[in-house]
Structure 1
Amino acid sequence: MAPFAILGLDHIVLRVADPARSERFYLEALGCRVVKRQEKLGLVHLDAGSALIDLLPGGEPAGNNVDHFCLWVEPFDEDAIRAHFAQLGIAVEPAKQRFGAEGTGPSIYLRDPDGNGIELKGPAAA
């Protein structure tokens, strides 16, 4: 047994091919905001609720930079989510009930410009 408990996602680091394009995606499509930049590394830290998404130059488009990461979102209104991403020209899969850290609830998958998978997950059914 580990001497600690995981409380949630702290951060994820993604290697990205075009840092400016990826930053725009996370700001405009997901509503993140820049909280810090480390110019020497080209690293940008984005606020994603209680966690951070870090973008680091050096990924390959559609590469295996990461399989996917999951962000808890609320409210989970599939129609509104689909309309938002359609307006941005971003394809999303239909929502399905999937298991996560808080139980089974609705989720939807999409990909960022570098092919990294993103799961947006709503609250678990009571």
Structure 2
Amino acid sequence: MTPKLTGLDHLVLTVRDIGKTVAFYRDVLGMEVQEFQPADGSTRTALLFGQQKINLHVAGAEFRPHGRCPMPGSADLCLLTDGPLESWARHLDNAGVDIEEGPVARSGAQGPIQSVYIRDPDGNLIEISVYLPQDAQA
């Protein structure tokens, strides 16, 4: 029998500037910033949200092992919210962040979602999505 995966613990973003990235994900998206020391004794930075985290690597100084071709701006992330996208649109506007597209209907891992798309400081595509209520899916 094939073993099964149960979730996503963390992912890694390669970024040009840790400070700009931290400011964006903390101030615009509300993530918690965590510095931690792995077994090698270095200091690393992570962004926490829900039960997940995003570890940050600086381009050209990535921690090993890493992806074969790490580069800033190559990620496309879909982040879930439980609040209305209208509230996010107002918040993003107040933060000076342009919505690239949306709200638009999309397909999430568990069913239909509504999404807005923005870019982080490295140009990564960030999709903020909310699952539609069951009665709206019919």
Counterpart in 2 of 1:5?
A: 5
Larger Rg: 2
Q: Which of these residues, 88, 91, 95, is aligned with residue 88 of structure 1? A: 95
- Residues 11, 55 of structure 2: 8 Å contact kept: yes
Range moving further from structure 2, 32-41 or 13-22: 32-41
Counterpart in 1 of 2:58?
A: 57
- Residues 43, 55 of structure 1: 8 Å contact kept: yes
Whole-Å separation in 2 of the counterparts to 1:95 and 1:42? 38
Counterpart in 1 of 2:45?
A: 44
1:36-88 deviation line (CA, Å, top 9, x unaligned): 334965631111111101111117xxx6643311111111x222111111111
TM-score by length of 2: 0.76
TM-score by length of 1: 0.83
Structure 2 regions of 5+ residues with no counterpart? Answer: 61-70
- Residues 24, 121 of structure 2: 8 Å contact kept: yes
1:8-47 deviation line (CA, Å, top 9, x unaligned): x321211111110100001000000123334965631111
SS state of the match for residue 13, structure 2? strand
Number of residue pairs the alignment of both structures matches: 121
- Residues 41, 56 of structure 1: 8 Å contact kept: no
State yes or no: 1:17 paired with 2:16. yes
Identity %: 32
What amino acid is aligned across from residue 120 of structure 1 in structure 2?
I
State yes or no: 1:28 paired with 2:11. no
Q: CA RMSD in A?
A: 2.2
- Residues 42, 56 of structure 1: 8 Å contact kept: no
Whole-Å separation in 2 of the counterparts to 1:18 and 1:2? 40
- Residues 107, 119 of structure 1: 8 Å contact kept: yes
Counterpart in 2 of 1:123?
A: 131
Structure 1 regions of 5+ residues with no counterpart? Answer: none
What amino acid is aligned across from residue 22 of structure 2 in structure 1?
E
Whole-Å separation in 2 of the counterparts to 1:19 and 1:64? 11
